[in-house]
């Protein structure tokens, strides 16, 4: 793939039915959890973006044997105990790999070092180092940033109220807790994505979830996970780019098949309801304890701005860049608040997005915890070059913006889309033929 991509108005509406890559969050977890079953697990519809491949290589480095049946299906044979890795464990661009694996590695009987690329090495790790240290973990870091050198040790359980609603923090603690005698409990004020809790239940861990006066809680005890086959649905965070394309490009109608519809991930559908996007959910199912369905979205000429704040934020945190593009084409203002953690993603998504959208011709006010977008239904100016800041979701959001600009948009460093969605351009070609 060349280093940049030019995006421009298509000649006609986007149409067709597509299958998008499988859920990244669940793919990471499928490997990390299966690796702890001590048995054989078949994983179907695995995500082959660079992020999940990083987790795959790490799991292999710890002694798991992985064989591919076809390009989306693998068999993982987990050892009874992990072996000490021979090299540093490279998480690449993936915060999920680093934060979840730090929990799992803290309770092993060897030392391991997690490293990451330039973007990941700038991201905050205090959020996992702090609770793990309370459990007795021995972690050396570069001022709470990667590399993380983890000297495995026997941990003690904790009762921890997380200061942020983060599924990575929650999952990290649960992965340490599942290998620790006693009851480990983590609370959060707002429920973040619950794929770990669902997968632990599916693999028969001793786990309870609920809500009490301290917030949403999950309690886990030392458990032997049971090897069971795991099937993964499509990623709603990847689907979101195509959902928004269909909503804003005139005369479009797209069906995205087999998309994960876990309620902790579907905040974007609530925003569609508020903004007046035309969509339908078809063929609902449950696979490996997760809800799925087909999402049909059609061109929505009457979209209007709305406020997005409070409890919904963790349910759409990764979709905010593409929701910003939707808001740019709506009538009226869209106000995004309570999303300060967007600054800690693959890039500072509030500042980077504001810079990019201003170039594209969007009127946007950057705020400490979000932004305000003043929508423009007459089409955006375009005629600019935008930077992806090592961030796959910004790259794809700008591409979608280019489809409704009056002049082309050049997206530099477009290769970053490979982090989560290497199939993005071929799928776009399929619906624009």
Listed residue (258, 308, 304) closest to 281, CA to CA: 258
The residue within the footprint of ligand S3P, chosen from 55, 166, 184, 397 (CB under 6 A), is: 166
Return the C-alpha torsion angle 235, 238, 242, 243, nearest 10: 60
Residue 167 binding ligand S3P, by CB under 6 A: yes
Alpha carbon 335 to chain centroid, angstroms? 22
Residue 55 binding ligand S3P, by CB under 6 A: no
Determine which one of 51, 318, 341, 391 is catalytic.
Answer: 318
Residue 185 binding ligand S3P, by CB under 6 A: no
- The reply to whether 194 belongs to the active site is no
Q: Which stretch binds ligand S3P (CB under 6 A): 36-44, 160-168, 172-180, 363-371?
A: 160-168
Q: Which is nearer to ligand S3P, 351 or 376 (CB)?
A: 351
Residue 258 binding ligand S3P, by CB under 6 A: no
Residue 317 binding ligand S3P, by CB under 6 A: yes
Q: Which stretch binds ligand S3P (CB under 6 A): 73-81, 137-145, 162-170, 207-215?
A: 162-170
Site string for ligand S3P, 188-207 (x = CB under 6 A): ----xx--------------
Alpha carbon 141 to chain centroid, angstroms? 24
* 318: phi then psi, degrees, rounded to nearest 5: -80, -15
The answer for residues whose C-beta is within 8 angstroms of residue 307's C-beta and 6 or more apart is: 334, 335, 337
Residue 218 binding ligand S3P, by CB under 6 A: no
Listed residue (255, 354, 353, 250) closest to 301, CA to CA: 250
Cβ proximity of 160 and 227 under 8 Å: no
CA distances 117 to 47, 190, 396, Å, are 20, 30, 20
Residue 96 binding ligand S3P, by CB under 6 A: yes
| DSSP conformation letters of 385-400 | EE--TT-HHHHHHHHH
| Distance in Å, CB of 396 to ligand S3P, minimum | 14
Q: Which is nearer to ligand S3P, 24 or 296 (CB)?
A: 24
Binding site for ligand S3P (CB under 6 A): 25, 96, 166-168, 171, 192-193, 317-318
Q: Which residues are catalytic?
A: 318
């Amino acid at each position: 793939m060349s280093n940049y991509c030019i995006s421009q108005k298509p000649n006609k509406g986007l149409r067709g039915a597509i299958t998008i890559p499988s859920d990244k969050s669940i793919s990471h977890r499928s490997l990390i959890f299966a690796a702890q079953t001590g048995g054989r697990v078949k994983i179907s519809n695995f995500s082959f973006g660079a992020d999940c491949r990083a987790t795959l290589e790490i799991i292999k480095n710890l002694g798991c044997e992985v064989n591919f049946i076809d390009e989306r299906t693998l068999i993982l044979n987990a050892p009874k105990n992990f072996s000490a890795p021979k090299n540093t464990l490279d998480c690449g661009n993936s915060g999920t790999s680093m934060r979840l694996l730090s929990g799992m590695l803290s309770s092993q009987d060897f030392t391991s070092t997690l490293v990451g690329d330039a973007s990941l090495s700038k991201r905050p790790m205090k959020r996992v180092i702090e609770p793990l240290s309370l459990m007795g973990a021995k972690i050396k870091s570069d001022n709470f940033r990667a590399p993380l050198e983890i000297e495995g040790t026997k941990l003690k359980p904790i009762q921890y109220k997380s200061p942020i609603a983060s599924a990575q923090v929650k999952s990290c603690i649960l992965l340490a807790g599942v290998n620790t005698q006693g009851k480990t409990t983590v609370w959060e004020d707002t429920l973040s994505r619950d794929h770990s809790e669902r997968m632990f239940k599916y693999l028969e861990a001793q786990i309870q979830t609920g809500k009490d006066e301290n917030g949403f809680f999950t309690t886990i005890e030392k458990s032997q996970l049971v090897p069971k086959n795991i099937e993964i649905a499509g990623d709603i965070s990847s689907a979101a780019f195509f959902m928004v394309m269909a909503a804003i490009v005139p005369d479009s109608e797209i069906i995205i098949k087999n998309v994960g519809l876990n309620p902790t991930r579907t905040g974007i559908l609530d925003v569609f309801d508020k903004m007046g996007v035309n969509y339908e959910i078809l063929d609902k199912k449950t696979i490996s304890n997760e809800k799925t369905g087909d999402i049909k979205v059609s061109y929505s000429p009457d979209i209007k701005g709305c406020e997005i704040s409070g409890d919904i934020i963790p349910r759409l945190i990764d979709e905010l860049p593409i929701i910003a593009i939707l808001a740019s084409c709506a009538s009226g203002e869209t106000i995004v608040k309570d999303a300060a953690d967007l600054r800690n993603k693959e890039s500072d998504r509030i500042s980077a997005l504001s810079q990019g959208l201003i170039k594209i011709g969007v009127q946007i006010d950057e705020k400490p915890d979000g932004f305000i977008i003043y929508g423009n239904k007459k089409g955006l100016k375009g005629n600019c070059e935008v930077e992806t800041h090592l961030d796959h979701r910004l790259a794809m959001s700008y591409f979608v913006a280019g489809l409704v600009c009056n002049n082309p948009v050049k997206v530099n460093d477009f290769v970053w889309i490979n982090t989560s969605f290497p199939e993005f351009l071929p799928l776009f070609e399929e619906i624009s033929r």
